[in-house]
Amino acid sequence: MYFFHTESADSGYSDISPSYDIATDAIPSGMSSINLNRSNIEVIRDQVVHKIQKSFSEKDKCEEEPSRRSLPDISSCSSSSFSTSPTSKSLPSEEEDITEKDILDLLKEMPPHMRFDYHDAFVIYCDDDRSRVEEFMENFDEIKLYDRVKPKVVLYDNIAISIGSKIKALEFGIDRCTYVFLFITKAFCDDSWSEFSSETCLMEAIHNPDKKWCVVPVFTEPKRSASFRVPPSLNSLKGIQYLKNDKFFKDSVAKLLEEKLYIREEKVKKLTGERKEWVSQYRIEMMKEETGAKKELLDRRNRELHNKMQQQQELEELKRLGAEAELRHEQDIRHIKGRLRP
């Protein structure tokens, strides 16, 4: 292998570098290191320069490719670091600080549709059967759904009192309760309002897929041996046979309500979220009103203080003018007395 001694014209010093090693096969055939003339040296020099340039270009390319490959890795690392950053975690909302007591304290202030809770069932009955229905409602105190949850059953007239209208209360009760219990008695079957309300519920069950089979007759007498005629529209429905202090009745009701307990719990969860949002907005409005009232009080006090200071300044100005007038008056008297002296 031969080393070519190159001399720099700019620097004035020579250098021999291993990067410029040229193998003997770079020398054209038929030439040797002894008989190299000027023309042969120029040919070899051109070949050397070409190889050096090619070597540098390949080296630059190799160094450039790893740097390009590293860019996605850096990007992925940055993305990962941002995703795990503590600042990216959502902060707890103000609604999480609102308790059930806060909701109950403001329940009367809420819109009517937010005041009434969701229930498992509401009971439609004839007013003449009030005492029997109250006895019927006592059974739900002894029932627990899945051995943990007390069923929520409400009388129709309690909804009517909250809403203020019997027709609206009927619509509201169907919407807020999973089931409609019809307390079937002779008085119920003879009462026009009971007939209207039961037919309304049946129509809702027919046309609303979410309320299918929501109407459940509570038969107070066996259907086959009843002392009164039950309307065919109700007699054809699958109902519950009610007997006082009957374990089978309680088990049947518990099983029926357990099947759709999840509906009530999901709606209660949604309603609770709406109530919390309302309480949060209510607090904001109250804070705005309180801030406005304080600002108005502060402005009024500032005006009173300004008026008082202005009156004080006017009083001091009057005192100053009075003192000046009195001083001039004394000066005038002394001047007159001086002229009157002999």
Other Cβ atoms less than 10 A from the Cβ of 300: the count is 10
Cβ proximity of 142 and 249 under 8 Å? no
For position 48, what pLDDT does the model report?
Answer: 59
Higher pLDDT residue, 78 or 136?
136
pLDDT-above-90 percentage for the chain:
32
For position 93, what pLDDT does the model report?
Answer: 53
Higher pLDDT residue, 161 or 111?
111
> Which of 241, 219, 238 is closest to 230 using CA atoms?
219
> Which of 143, 134, 124, 123 is closest to 252 using CA atoms?
143
Give the mean model confidence (pLDDT) for residues 213-238: 88
This prediction's pTM = 0.57
For position 148, what pLDDT does the model report?
Answer: 87
Give the mean model confidence (pLDDT) for residues 142-148: 91
Cβ proximity of 192 and 162 under 8 Å? no
Query: Does 60 score more than 60 pLDDT?
Result: no
Give the mean model confidence (pLDDT) for residues 293-309: 89
Q: How confident is the model at residue 222 (pLDDT cuts 50, 70, 90)?
A: confident
pLDDT tens string 2-40: 444 444 434 343 343 444 344 444 444 444 444 445 556
Q: Where are the domains of the chain?
A: 6-74, 103-259
For position 76, what pLDDT does the model report?
Answer: 40
The CATH architecture assigned to 103-259 reads: 3-Layer(aba) Sandwich (3.40)
Query: Does 178 score more than 80 pLDDT?
Result: yes
